[in-house]
Structure 1
Amino acid sequence: MAGMSFSSLSALETEIFHYIEAHQSDFIEDLKEWVAVESDSVQPHLRKEVMRMMSLAAARLAVLGATVNSVSLGSQQLLNGQHLPQPPVILGELGKDPKNLTICFYGHVDVQPARREDGWKTNPYTLTEINGNLYGRGATDNKGPVLAWINAVETYRALKIAMPVNFKFVIEGMEEVGSLGLEELLEEKQGFFSDVDYIVISDNLWLSKKKPALIYGTRGNACFSVEVEGGDKDLHSGTFGGIIHEPLTDLIALLDSLVDPTGQIQIPGIYDAVAPLTDEEKKLYESTEYDIEEHKNNSGVKKLLYNTKEEILLHLWHYPSLSIHGIEGAFHEPGIKTVIPAKVIGKFSIRQVPYMELSDVKQQVVNHLENVFAKRNSPNKLKVSMPLGAKPWVTDVNDPLYKAARRAIRTVFGEDPDFIRDGSTIPIARIFQTITQKRVIMFPIGAADDGEHSQNEKISRRNYIEGTKVFAAFFLEISKLRGQSNETSNPGTK
């Protein structure tokens, strides 16, 4: 395939890559079997399918010769009081050679909801290849990458090549609903990670359609609710309009005070803890492959806030952003209803970056909104809360772990990867690093246009098969790191 010349490879790499190419149809059949399972963790009536998917994944690891422990997480209580069994978390282990380093792979096999009538051009649960793309829910998020990793391990086993590293697996089935219970399990099972040297997460995408990337940072997310309450019932605007302080008017003023038309957050102190932009990071932004027009077209908007690649990436990755998401309690159906709602709740979030502390962000938001509200002299009641907060994550691109991944990518794709951050929030990287104190790498194989969570989700045949090769090459590169410290990198170095 493009980017790789077998003549430049070692005999071992050549043998491995030839096997992967020769068996790509088998690997695609495996993905087809997994995509056919409607393992939607969001909808309660499909929980049995998630459980079935976990059993399939456990069986697949067992075939490799792994020791598999399916750890129960008990049940989940829904808002209506119903209790549902939670799918177990799979802890797998393959190889205990004390001379080898041990890498732990994290992935998930649950998916977001998908229906043909939502706009899919194919059945979302039938893997369908069109023009080299493999369409199906979960193809890229995250069944394809999980299988690519397993396929790479299987290749060594099939060729009877000694495993260059020891493997551990953490595979879950509740990622799409917040990885319920996973953090507590990782705390409880810290002994499982005692001999782990590195943790690999492949649950994200490149920034480009064709150029590989390694991710070294993600933003956090602080979700806020701001409630304004007036009387104890909705009122008629003909009877009370013009003579009372309306809660919705107060709320709109509060929301309007948060961010200006240029995207700058107007909360005092919010930028104080943002790390200065280093020359090294600035160079990474300059060298990153990024198509502004393509990003704009994919979004359907006519204009972005910034005009250059560097400015856009800086505001996606390095600086926090604030987005307003909705208002609860206000009339929103078609037609006119001349009502003054008694209580309204605005919802917004701040994607925070290193080294913004959640507690500081919360206090800054509360102080700002209370000050704005006080100036309105409103008798209504204000309540500000932060129901959800996830921390940002960043690591060092000069870490030997990232250098090993870069060499593997160069071997397979014939070029160095982009080093990028992810503007979204992926709490699992921070959770793993904090609990295990081991180095974490985010190593995607999906392309920017794969459409995770969207209609017509896909992974290309190229990315799936070359991704399998790059993981196989990564194992060899990791084996060369013996004797190097496994302590976590200094997150202040980028």
Structure 2
Amino acid sequence: MDPKLGRMASALLVLLLLLEGGMFSSSQPSGLLGEVFQYIDVHQDDFVQTLKEWVAIESNSVQPEPRFRQELFRMMGLAADKLRRLGASVDSVDVGHQQLPDGQTLPIPPIVLAELGNDPKKPTVCFYGHLDVQPARPEDGWLTNPYTLTEVDGKLYGRGATDNKGPVLAWIHAVSAFKALDQDLPVNIKFIIEGMEEAGSVALEELVHREKDRFFSSVEYIVISDNLWISQRKPALTYGTRGNSYFTVEVKCRDQDFHSGTFGGILHEPMADLVALLGSLVDSSGHILIPGIYDHVAPLTEEEKKLYEAIDLDLGEYRNSSQVEKFLFDTKEEVLMHLWRYPSLSIHGIEGAYDEPGMKTVIPGRVIGKFSIRLVPHMNMSVVEKQVVQHLQDVFSRRNSSNKMAVSMTLGLHPWIADINDNQYLAAKRAIRTVFGTDPDMIRDGSTIPIAKIFQEILQKSVMMLPLGAVDDGEHSQNEKINRWNYIEGSKLFAAFFLEMANLHQ
């Protein structure tokens, strides 16, 4: 068979399968974009194979072991080589070593900086991604080998498939389609790809500072695809995330535990003090009880309210899939607002308490409670820290306890929010309409993705989150997957985004 006819037949088969599944709601565009889409459809099995090769690398950054670091170096090298084969100028930046709490030192995998094109007439878009993964073991409940990409009913199962190897490859596939068709890229493209995101992006912030006036000097827009839709089918654009302030509160009588038969009834027990302190933080409706905590929360505007009303979310289905009997709020809008645009306080655990099976009648001499507050615009982290400390001191003083209390904020990460009227959000909306035949849900993320705020603050550039994965992809959990449809249509989405950015720049 003529190779061209073979490609056309494969593309037709793909189209029929997508139509049959009810997942392809927009018509194939004409012109260059149509050719790019056809190329991606015809080569989708090759793209899945590449993802399989990447998933097979156990690039675990969470467990600081030499064998995993070797895999991380191999993963970053593979990515650098792939970008070089596309014609990119690639710099694998040595960022030194990591000093661990136990005294050992391990090398940090290089951060890959790559660029294609430097035409001053074109906009320059930078894509951020990471290639490290969370740990995964078959015995933890995986139905397949986590490091063997396995396709079941159009779902591609494997650790890193959606977080974040699949999206990184989708961006690369979009570039490769233009290259394969001998077409100029519509935009200048840069990549920054790291291998330590799951371990806190070690050394990344320092590199961004260092490269601000060199690698990032020509960058106008930054795209991150490291989160998920809120739906299984409808695409989304993310314009905000919450920050996080993590606290510990220690109550101490002495370093040793007490026998409750010998000392019970004559002590101010540290555990009783701590339970009272933790119980004073939030009420049964989820309202934070720390005075002044809501004072600087950004007011709800009518424009923002309409965004929540437009989001496609079946609250009953969402609750059932979460295996929760009842949420604190009864409407879609209230649930989403309290996930995204209002602060929340969560109590995480207690050190020093006996938590093994069986009975142990001790009075802990020293206990440490852990809790965090998810921050939202325009909360000030230092103000929140003062409010928390003052509140706990007031509650503790009212107990007239002879114990000692110490409060510490051990982590502080700022919230991030973007301007949805920026050019790249407009371009992404148009691209989503072209590929998926619908307008995106405009969403925030209740978790914290620090790199967005780092880019925004250091570089003063427009930052956008353009997720590819569905809400049920299960990042960080057992049976992580990305749907073949999301992976392939996501590659098309990036290609369409390049063209839309170029059109808006004219």
TM-score grouping bracket, smaller chain normalisation = over 0.9
Give distance in 2, aligned partners of 1:456 and 1:348.
29
Give distance in 2, aligned partners of 1:294 and 1:145.
26
| Contiguous gaps of at least 5 residues in structure 1 | 484-494
Kept in 2, the 8 Å contact 1:433–1:439? The answer is: yes
Q: 1:4 Cα shift?
A: 4.5
Give distance in 2, aligned partners of 1:88 and 1:151.
22
Deviant stretches of 4+, over 3 Å: 1-7
**Letter matched to residue 357 of structure 2:** P
**Letter matched to residue 186 of structure 1:** V
> Is 2:96 the partner of 1:64?
no
Provide the secondary structure at the position in 2 that maps to 1:334: coil
Kept in 2, the 8 Å contact 1:392–1:430? The answer is: yes
Give distance in 2, aligned partners of 1:158 and 1:174.
31
- Which one is further off, 285-294 or 18-27? 285-294
- Which one is further off, 103-112 or 292-301? 292-301
Give distance in 2, aligned partners of 1:318 and 1:97.
39
Kept in 1, the 8 Å contact 2:26–2:436? The answer is: no
TM-score norm. by structure 2 comes to 0.94
Give distance in 1, aligned partners of 2:286 and 2:121.
52
Give distance in 1, aligned partners of 2:431 and 2:186.
14
Deviation string, structure 1 residues 386-433 (Cα, Å, up to 9, x no partner): 110100001111222111000000000000000000011001101001
**Letter matched to residue 181 of structure 2:** L
Superposition map of 1:11-26 within 5 A: 11-26=31-46
**Counterpart for residue 3 of structure 1:** 24
**Counterpart for residue 361 of structure 1:** 384
**How many aligned positions are there?**
482
Equivalent of residue 209 in structure 1, options 228, 232, 245? 232
Q: 1:104 Cα shift?
A: 0.3
Q: 1:97 Cα shift?
A: 1.3
Give distance in 2, aligned partners of 1:78 and 1:294.
43
Give distance in 2, aligned partners of 1:389 and 1:132.
40
Superposition map of 1:10-159 within 5 A: 10-45=30-65, 46-159=68-181
Q: 1:5 Cα shift?
A: 4.2
**Letter matched to residue 108 of structure 1:** H
> Is 2:332 the partner of 1:309?
yes
Q: 1:162 Cα shift?
A: 1.0
Give distance in 1, aligned partners of 2:196 and 2:26.
40
Deviation string, structure 1 residues 332-367 (Cα, Å, up to 9, x no partner): 111111111111000000001000011011000000
Superposition map of 1:26-425 within 5 A: 26-45=46-65, 46-190=68-212, 191-425=214-448
**Counterpart for residue 456 of structure 1:** 479
Q: 1:283 Cα shift?
A: 0.6
Provide the secondary structure at the position in 1 that maps to 2:294: coil
- Which one is further off, 288-297 or 317-326? 288-297
Give distance in 2, aligned partners of 1:10 and 1:271.
51
Q: 1:290 Cα shift?
A: 1.3
**Letter matched to residue 148 of structure 2:** T
Give distance in 2, aligned partners of 1:64 and 1:471.
16
Provide the secondary structure at the position in 2 that maps to 1:474: helix
Provide the secondary structure at the position in 2 that maps to 1:249: helix
Deviation string, structure 1 residues 61-114 (Cα, Å, up to 9, x no partner): 111111111111111111211111111110111111121111000000000000
Give distance in 2, aligned partners of 1:448 and 1:148.
18
Kept in 2, the 8 Å contact 1:6–1:14? The answer is: no
Q: 1:297 Cα shift?
A: 2.4
Give distance in 2, aligned partners of 1:180 and 1:230.
37
Provide the secondary structure at the position in 2 that maps to 1:57: helix
Provide the secondary structure at the position in 1 that maps to 2:454: helix
Kept in 2, the 8 Å contact 1:4–1:411? The answer is: no
Deviation string, structure 1 residues 203-228 (Cα, Å, up to 9, x no partner): 00000000000000000000000000
- Which one is further off, 398-407 or 465-474? 398-407
Kept in 2, the 8 Å contact 1:202–1:445? The answer is: yes
**Letter matched to residue 193 of structure 2:** I
Give distance in 1, aligned partners of 2:341 and 2:467.
20
**Letter matched to residue 20 of structure 1:** I
Give distance in 1, aligned partners of 2:402 and 2:483.
58
Kept in 1, the 8 Å contact 2:114–2:192? The answer is: yes
How large is the RMSD of aligned CA atoms in angstroms? Answer: 0.9
Kept in 2, the 8 Å contact 1:134–1:461? The answer is: yes
Deviation string, structure 1 residues 210-263 (Cα, Å, up to 9, x no partner): 000000000000000000010231110000001000001000000000000000
Superposition map of 1:438-453 within 5 A: 438-453=461-476
Q: 1:174 Cα shift?
A: 0.3
Give distance in 2, aligned partners of 1:409 and 1:6.
13
**Letter matched to residue 477 of structure 2:** S
Kept in 1, the 8 Å contact 2:123–2:188? The answer is: yes
Deviation string, structure 1 residues 5-41 (Cα, Å, up to 9, x no partner): 445x231111110000000000000000000000010
Give distance in 2, aligned partners of 1:6 and 1:356.
45
